[in-house]
Structure 1
Amino acid sequence: MFDSLGRALRRAGYATLTFDYSGHGASGDEIITFDPLIEDFRSASGWLADQGFARQICVGHEFGAAVALRSRPPAVQTYVLVSPVLGPLSYDWNLVFSDVQLSDLEHHGATTVPDDSESVRRQFTISKRTLADMSMVSGEDALRGLSVPVLITHDSFDEETGLLDRTREVFHLLPDGSLVEMTAAPDGIAGEYTPVDGVPIIDEAVDRALAASGSAHLPTLADVAAKWASRWVPVSR
């Protein structure tokens, strides 16, 4: 997802930065909790500003969106939040972790989780604090006082996971100019269009056409994000 999004932004004239949070990718084996991730994000944004990139666009995915919102670096002029977690979610950890992992969490306070992504990392280290951070995200705390516009994107899977409902609940807290857009599923297969009550779509003409047809091909995340970036942080020529 981030690779294709980064390519789209670079084609549009933007410089991009990717980095590994503490406990992720090629970074160290720190236990993953929100507070160090927030500091990582602020440090990365500050370093970019020092290099002359004083107008920044932040892209955050799922829990990374919550981290980005809580970081609030001053150089960020707009956020693109992809399937963000903007409220508490309920998990049955017995279905997520093995008996050994649950025992480690209970008796040692931490455990490791295999990383099956394309990352160089083989495993993550998490703790009870990690699970609390994941379960108890507060959209109200994340959005309160935010002054820059936010683009939130959801795909068809977010209806099933409850992420879309969390966005509905906190939509009234979004700053002026913010929008929610339905995009194609990550695998590129168009999903069913689900009207979001009270949440405007970027293009009202497309909204009406999709609502009338019941289903249609949805725009890609890369296209939507590039359009949003050009609106709020136009490329300097």
Structure 2
Amino acid sequence: MAEIRITTPRGVALSGTLDAAEVSAGTSADPAEGRTATAPARAVLFAHGFLADRSSRGRTDGLAKAYRAAGYATLAFDFGGHGDSEDDVVEVSHEVEDLEAASTHLAAAGYTHQVVHAHSMGALVALRAGSPHVRAMVLTGAVSGPIEHPWEEVLSPAKMAELTSTGRTTVLDDGPSGREELEISEQTLADFTEVDQAELLGTVACPVLLLHGGALVDGEEHPLLTQARIGLPLLPEGSRLEVLSGGEHALLDRTEEVAARALAWLEEVTP
């Protein structure tokens, strides 16, 4: 395991964790160099969801372990303004730059065959990003079309008033890092609704696996699943939508199933 720092073109330092793929006993590995002597030059790059961090309440940790066992190195990082990365306003355009910078870092380390595994808003970021090194994307609970987010469940009336009057406000960060709050803007809210699905999905250059929970009582996941069904025909050949029956948006209790489905699909669509 190696803790790394990645500086984006706009000058924000991102904090991440790079882990080499699992190797057989007696084979040396140096994660700081980004590769091992025996592992193929493949890596999974994680993109966490809205107001989360690289661990995503443990979801990323479990997924990364499964990917490493299958021969992928893994890079999980905090978007700017999250976790241990430097301060930044949480906006999709910023996170697109962050993800592209992380992909470039992986490529410089020898990993030019990359898979992006992203969740929720991180999936929207992944769909907007344009890294030439990404061969496939696995997206859970993806924002793949315009969504009316229930902001009243995130922001108090006072915070909404501050956002309206100043254009920015903060929300508490209850994650494991030392960060106490995250900054959002009016653009943050617009990022969820101002999505031209045909334009967004029509420019994707690699196959995409969309994994969604199927719990009928999950008000958050249902509109996301609906958008995925509408948008699937717009994605490249090899793309697929799979529904995890009974699963909720976070899929925290379905990590093993998500990993198994992702790895089986990747065997089909990537060399």
- Structures share fold, TM-score greater than 0.5: yes
Displacement of 1:178 in angstroms is 0.8
**What runs of 5+ residues in structure 1 fail to find an aligned partner?**
190-217
Distance in 2 separating the partners of 1:171 and 1:233? 19
Identity of aligned residues (%): 37
- Name the aligned partner's letter for residue 269 of structure 2: W
Verify: 1:172 aligned to 2:233, yes or no: yes
Displacement of 1:118 in angstroms is 3.2
Please state whether the residue corresponding to 1:52 is helix, strand or coil.
coil
Partner of residue 12, structure 2: none
- Name the aligned partner's letter for residue 239 of structure 2: S
Alignment of 1:66-105 (within 5 A): 66-105=124-163
> 1:148, 1:175 within 8 Å by CA — same for their partners in 2?
yes
Verify: 1:188 aligned to 2:247, yes or no: no
Partner of residue 26, structure 1: 84
Displacement of 1:176 in angstroms is 0.7
Partner of residue 203, structure 2: 145
TM-score under structure 1 length normalisation: 0.80
Deviations 1:87-135 (A, max 9, x none): 1112343343112211211221111101223344221100111111122
State which drifts further: 222-231 or 61-70. Answer: 222-231
Displacement of 1:65 in angstroms is 0.7
Please state whether the residue corresponding to 1:16 is helix, strand or coil.
strand
Verify: 1:221 aligned to 2:248, yes or no: no
Distance in 2 separating the partners of 1:101 and 1:170? 33
State which drifts further: 91-100 or 32-41. Answer: 91-100
Deviations 1:5-32 (A, max 9, x none): 1010001111000111111111122111
Closer, same or farther in 2 for the Cα pair 1:233/1:125, shift >3 Å? same
Distance in 1 separating the partners of 2:205 and 2:82? 30
- Name the aligned partner's letter for residue 241 of structure 2: V
State which drifts further: 4-13 or 27-36. Answer: 27-36
TM-score under structure 2 length normalisation: 0.70
> 2:232, 2:239 within 8 Å by CA — same for their partners in 1?
no
Verify: 1:16 aligned to 2:74, yes or no: yes
> 1:66, 1:137 within 8 Å by CA — same for their partners in 2?
no
Please state whether the residue corresponding to 2:74 is helix, strand or coil.
coil
Partner of residue 219, structure 2: 160
Closer, same or farther in 2 for the Cα pair 1:181/1:33, shift >3 Å? same
> 1:57, 1:233 within 8 Å by CA — same for their partners in 2?
no
Partner of residue 112, structure 1: 170
Displacement of 1:233 in angstroms is 3.5
Partner of residue 50, structure 1: 108
- Structure whose residues are more often helix by fraction: 1
- Alpha-carbon RMSD across the aligned residues, in angstroms, is 2.0
Deviations 1:25-75 (A, max 9, x none): 111221111111111111110111111101000111111111111112000
Closer, same or farther in 2 for the Cα pair 1:92/1:80, shift >3 Å? closer
